[in-house]
Amino acid sequence: MEIQIIMSEKGKELVLLNNFKYCFVRKRKDGYIKWICTNKNCTANILTTADKKSLHQSTGEHKHLVNSQQKIERQILRENCKRKADDNISTRPLKIIRNELIKNKPTDIIYSDIQSVRKAMYDKRRKMYPVFPISLNEAISQLKLVENNCCLFNGDQFVFVPENDEFVCITTKENLKFMTTQNEFFGDGTFDFAPKFFLQLYTIHSYTNGFYVPIVYFFLANKTKETYLNMWKYLLELCQRFFTSTFDVQKLHLDFESGAHEAAKEIFPNVMIVTCRFHLGQAWWRKINGDSNLRNAYKDNNNELGQWLKLFFGLPFLPSDEIEDAFLALIAECPSLEEGHVFTDYLVSTYIAPDSLFPPYLWAQEPSVNPRTTNGPESFHRTYNGQFYCPHPPTHVVISVLKETQAQTLTIINSIKNNVHKPMAKKDKLLSESTLQNYNDYKVHKDLILYLRKTGNSYQGKNLKKIRGRKNLSAFYNSSTWRIDRDFEGQLLVDFKEVSTAGFSELTSSENDGIKQ
């Protein structure tokens, strides 16, 4: 007779036979396993084969009522869900319960059983972590207890907390060692799913062999220049503590956040900062969208002013020392200076003039196969955000997810050490090759307007539609074919044209014109 193995509330194996439960006694010398009824007043027992699949012998009779089918099904559901709640810490309990109901098809489960199982799953998860902190200071103080298993990865320190700074550093010694061999990095933050009491999760990626490697994570309480300065200083101190050498940032990819720029330049005077072309395009589009005349012209493919506006999106694909002349050439082509000056004045003060907030050397460069956006790190953050079912999860839950991510990071580092290269996506490769060919043609024929028209039409969004009543951007994060934007009234704009680059921008209410203050 076949038997069924289920789990007890304490995680021990039980034999289920005719709705009676038996707990383990011992394994006999002849290989059979003895089990006894879980009712303390009952002496009924059985012998099973060593593989626990078949009944060998049954002894004694039960002197109590048999367990109801509902009680058995509830226990099976509860223990299966508790185990999966452990294994999948970031999955919503109700989703786990629903999957188990589909899988096992219980017939006697009622609604109150679901609520009971759900509560048991939350209780199980709470036992895995310390008491959740109630303030920023408590969260940081709690993480200083690095002997806690939540703060270790493979037995090594995973959480680093400086004494006098309100941030937390998440990394490993192996990651830092790899970092000392790199010189090109990306810095990007995510806000909605930063740990509770922190403003953002800031991730530093290295880029090599086509791989974006998440090396260091920071829980930051703000995004001031001083915080970024302390962040980079602490990283250098950690490398100096563990190794004789440190790292040097030669190229750093950032979005348009002046505090991050200034901090990086102060710590690494010779750094080359490369801003995100995608964020730049978003900022320019928002300026156009903020003026009804420009917006209507831009959306009309047959409108001369709209065609002229699209030319500007080709400027990032020129060398920075050619931007001023190209900009003047575009102004000379303007079909309506009265309307066009709204956009050009904005560009001059923010992006074109040598003393502007973001001068051309930050965002203009001739085409190449090297990345020109922060879409890789932002794609990583979209995946990270998708691990949670509510904003600002508890600190220790975030660390658990980052430990899972670290396991994958090690495989990427090993791949790079073995000289493995990640090929560019076919669509991105074709677009890159086409842009390079257009640039080479421009260098030969010197037809600036033709070059800007070709590149401008390839790298800006179309067919924008308004989605009203949506305040939660995360609802759209998992769509690979939607670009998310905001207009000046706070309404969402979704671009249904598939974007060729890997990933999209996360926008927050603190952003204005694509610039983080």
* pLDDT above 70 (res 490): no
Mind listing the pLDDT tens digit for each residue in 29-55? 999 999 999 999 999 999 999 999 899
Q: Are residues 104 and 184 in the same domain?
A: no
Asked if the structure places residue 507 within a domain, the reply is no
- Contact indicator for 369, 432 with CB cutoff of 8 Å: yes
Taking CA atoms, 97 is separated from 42, 86, 133, 400, 415, in Å, by: 33, 13, 28, 21, 37
Domain limit, last residue, from 382, 414, 442: 382
* Coil, strand or helix at 368: coil
Q: Are residues 184 and 247 in the same domain?
A: yes
Could you give the number of structural domains in the chain?
Answer: 4
- pLDDT, residue 163, reads 85
Q: Are residues 115 and 154 in the same domain?
A: no
- pLDDT, residue 146, reads 57
Asked if the structure places residue 224 within a domain, the reply is yes
Q: Are residues 445 and 301 in the same domain?
A: yes
Q: Are residues 195 and 309 in the same domain?
A: no
Asked if the structure places residue 21 within a domain, the reply is yes
Q: Rounded to an integer, what distance in angstroms lies between the CA atom of residue 449 and that of residue 328?
A: 12
- Tokens standing for residue 336: 């309506």
pLDDT (average), residues 88-111 = 84
Asked if the structure places residue 498 within a domain, the reply is no
Taking CA atoms, 195 is separated from 156, 220, 221, 287, in Å, by: 22, 9, 10, 33
Question: What's the whole-number average pLDDT of the chain?
Answer: 85
- Contact indicator for 199, 220 with CB cutoff of 8 Å: yes
Cα–Cα–Cα angle for 331, 335, 336, nearest 5°? Answer: 90
Count of CB atoms situated within 10 Å of the CB of 378: 26
Q: Are residues 14 and 91 in the same domain?
A: no
Unique residue bearing structure tokens 């979704």: 494
pLDDT band at 461 (very low <50, low <70, confident <90, very high): low
CATH number of the domain to which 241 belongs:
3.30.420
Q: Are residues 18 and 143 in the same domain?
A: no
Q: Are residues 212 and 333 in the same domain?
A: no
Q: Rounded to an integer, what distance in angstroms lies between the CA atom of residue 3 and that of residue 16?
A: 6
Higher pLDDT, 479 or 211: 211
Q: Rounded to an integer, what distance in angstroms lies between the CA atom of residue 218 and that of residue 377?
A: 14
pLDDT band at 357 (very low <50, low <70, confident <90, very high): very high
Asked if the structure places residue 131 within a domain, the reply is no
What torsion, rounded to 10 degrees, do the Cα atoms 116, 117, 118, 123 define?
90
Asked if the structure places residue 411 within a domain, the reply is no
- pLDDT, residue 201, reads 97
* pLDDT above 70 (res 465): no
Asked if the structure places residue 394 within a domain, the reply is no
Higher pLDDT, 280 or 477: 280
Which neighbouring-strand residues pair with 190? 201
Q: Are residues 283 and 336 in the same domain?
A: yes
* pLDDT above 80 (res 69): yes
Domain limit, last residue, from 360, 382, 404: 382
- Tokens standing for residue 275: 């801003």
* pLDDT above 50 (res 297): yes
SS3 content of the chain, % helix, strand, coil (to 5): 45, 20, 40
* pLDDT above 80 (res 510): no
Q: Are residues 148 and 264 in the same domain?
A: yes
Domain limit, last residue, from 19, 39, 59: 59
- pLDDT, residue 476, reads 33
- pLDDT, residue 274, reads 96
- pLDDT, residue 10, reads 83
* pLDDT above 60 (res 59): yes
- pLDDT, residue 244, reads 81
* pLDDT above 60 (res 491): no
Q: Which domain holds residue 444?
A: 277-371+426-460
Q: Are residues 80 and 185 in the same domain?
A: no
Q: Are residues 284 and 235 in the same domain?
A: no
Asked if the structure places residue 400 within a domain, the reply is no
- pLDDT, residue 151, reads 81
Unique residue bearing structure tokens 């308004």: 466
